[in-house]
Structures are given as C-alpha cells and as structure tokens.
Amino acid sequence: MHIDKEIDTSGLNCPLPILKAKKALAELESGQVLKVIATDGGSLRDFQAFAKQTGNELLEQQTLGEEFIHVLRRR
C-alpha cells in the first residue's frame, strides 16, 4: 500500500492523535493515504469514530506490540 504521509503520535493521549491526524489529512489531497502511529489504546475506537464522522476511509488498523497503526484515505 502506498502511504503519502506518516505521522507518529506515540506518547500522546486522546484527543491529540486525532487532532494531529485531522491536521495532516487537511494537508493531503483527496484520495491520498495517511498512516498514523499511536500508543494510546483508545485510539482504535477513536479512529473508527473519526472516520465515520468525517467521511474519511479507515483502510486498516493494526496492533504491533504497544503501537497501534491506523491508515486513512482522505475523502
């Protein structure tokens, strides 16, 4: 999968990973893909809700050790 931009929000708690993702998505063009690395366990459900509310597509979520990876496509 081609990633256009990646941000690392490790160590940040809700709502900061979502806010940083929102800012990063605003810098992308429609259809581009953002990868977010987070360490907040709540980010799994937060990003699901964020995608539903904003219309951005949540392509993938992974848990790798203590990291949570979220991949979103800008609407």
Q: Where are the alpha helices (DSSP H) in 1-75?
A: 16-26, 43-54
Residues 31, 33, 39, 44, CA torsion sign = positive
Q: Hunting for tokens 């050790």 — which residue is that?
A: 65
67 tagged catalytic: no
Backbone phi, psi, residue 17, to 5°: -60, -40
Residue of 4, 7, 12, 14 marked catalytic? 14
Q: Which residues are catalytic, by number?
A: 14
